[in-house]
Amino acid sequence: MSSTRDIDKLIEMMARLPGLGPRSARRAVLQMIRKRGQLLSPLAEQMAKVAATARECLNCGNIGTEDICDICRSEKRATGEICVVQDVSDLWAMERGAVFGGRYHVLGGTLSALDDIGPEDIRIPQLVARIENEQISEVILALNATVDGQTTAHYIADQLDGRVRITSLAQGVPIGGELDYLDDGTISAALKARRSI
Amino acid sequence: MSSTRDIDKLIEMMARLPGLGPRSARRAVLQMIRKRGQLLSPLAEQMAKVAATARECLNCGNIGTEDICDICRSEKRATGEICVVQDVSDLWAMERGAVFGGRYHVLGGTLSALDDIGPEDIRIPQLVARIENEQISEVILALNATVDGQTTAHYIADQLDGRVRITSLAQGVPIGGELDYLDDGTISAALKARRSI
Ligand SMILES: [Zn+2]
Ligand SMILES: [Zn+2]
């Protein structure tokens, strides 16, 4: 611990972030204090700004700073394709790949009997509504290749059967792997080789 | 990248902190946004608070929120002993060990011919002045067991020779090791087994 309560408290708060522990939090805080003009003050301001403006897109569940996110608002994005992902981090991974030009639907989780998570808990009714309202021709299921991810993919495919073309990422997603851990090239290959379910 | 400039900027700023990279910064920012009420806003406030109040102790070089730090002000700390450390992170490591009851002197670096760092650059004149002004009976040199750390220790020992008892951490500090990486028990053992130079 440092000799000051306010600094100790900042270290404790930083240590709770994913990827940081007590030791790395201490190093980060010391570094920030040493460069408080260039690092700590701007970071505090940017955090306050994001805290005040960040919200979930009412349409797709992406995180942005408006009620409807940049991707849903963009006229450059194809309107006929929806890529369904589990989390915002997966949407970000897809965007880094920069090979998908349509829009997204972020579930915010997967179906799970164990955790009592049903279709209404992961925005599936909203997805069904979008298929009806937005003239969607294809739904790409870009869910993790885990048991829960694939259970969710099959449930969605059953719900939408006959109303729209349903595909899933194919080549390149390793069994048991999570989308957010893949490199851009693998995501790109998997998207290009997508197949009908 | 996310779909929003402000969030991307926050991720970039977080990724520059020691111990974090782009991937862990993305995860930390997502987590903070999900819990913006409990996590992001309080963190922003705490950072702003520390940015506004943090400063170097005018006496010892420790980081605190007053001109004279808590340790230098404390009446519970022995006034006759000064423990000389390279960085504030080393002072924090000593305090976690909780076996030293005296005060500190933080050099903020080591002598280095290569980097043109001389005694005036690392608060050695201030240390010499404290020996004269504060009735110090012992100076404990708790410097890293690196070449630069030991060069600095010998330089300080030469400067103070004959004026005060000079000791150094002994047992337990591995060759080439850095103080901030040691466990509390090792630091405790090294302090108890300190020897005269
Ligand atoms: Zn959206
Ligand atoms: Zn002090």
Kindly give the pairing relationship between strand B138-141 and strand B103-106.
Answer: unpaired
Best probe of the A interface among B38, B50, B77, B180, by most A CBs < 10 A, is B50
For residue B44, the chain A residues in CB contact (below 8 A) are 44-45, 47-48, 51
> Are A64 and B13 inside 8 Å of each other by CB?
no
For chain A, give the mean pLDDT: 88
With CA atoms as reference, report the closest residue to A34 among B130, B148, B4, B109: B109
Find the B124 Cα to ligand 2 centroid distance in Å. 15
Rg (C-alpha) for chain B, rounded Å, is 20
> Are A95 and B43 inside 8 Å of each other by CB?
no
> Are B17 and A31 inside 8 Å of each other by CB?
yes
Kindly give the pairing relationship between strand B81-85 and strand B103-106.
Answer: parallel
pLDDT of residue A155 exceeding 90, the answer is: yes
* Predicted pLDDT of residue A18: 87
Q: Which of A40-49, A118-127, A181-190, B169-178 has the lowest mean pLDDT?
A: B169-178
Find the B86 Cα to ligand 2 centroid distance in Å. 14
Q: Which of B123-127, B154-158, B178-182 has the lowest mean pLDDT?
A: B178-182
How many Å apart are CA A170 and CA A142, to the nearest integer?
9
Q: How far is A52 from chain B (nearest CA, A)?
A: 8
Fold of B77-168: Dna Topoisomerase Vi A Subunit; Chain: A, domain 2 (3.40.1360)
> Are B4 and A96 inside 8 Å of each other by CB?
no
Domain ranges of chain B: 77-168
How many Å apart are CA B32 and CA B40, to the nearest integer?
5
* Predicted pLDDT of residue A4: 84
> How many angstroms separate the most distant Cα atoms in chain B?
66
With CA atoms as reference, report the closest residue to B31 among A105, A127, A15: A15
How many Å apart are CA B158 and CA B80, to the nearest integer?
20
How many Å apart are CA A68 and CA A104, to the nearest integer?
12
* pLDDT tens profile B159-174: 998 899 999 876 556 6
Nearest to B49 among A6, A26, A53 (CB): A6
How many Å apart are CA B52 and CA A37, to the nearest integer?
9
What H or E segment, with its residue span, contains residue A75? none
Given the cut 0.85, state whether the ipTM is greater than it. no
Specify the higher pLDDT residue, A179 or B6: B6
Answer for the pair A53, A46: CB distance below 8 angstroms, yes or no: no
> Are A50 and B33 inside 8 Å of each other by CB?
yes
Band the pLDDT of B176: cuts 50, 70, 90. Answer: low
What's the average model confidence in pLDDT over B15-20? 89
Residue A177: Cβ-neighbour burial (10 angstroms; 0-12, 13-18, 19+): middle
What's the average model confidence in pLDDT over A36-54? 94
How many Å apart are CA B6 and CA B81, to the nearest integer?
50
* Predicted pLDDT of residue A3: 60
Q: What chain B residue is nearest to A91 in terms of C-alpha separation?
A: B2
With CA atoms as reference, report the closest residue to B32 among B56, B16, B14: B14
Find the A26 Cα to ligand 2 centroid distance in Å. 19
Answer for the pair B155, B124: CB distance below 8 angstroms, yes or no: yes
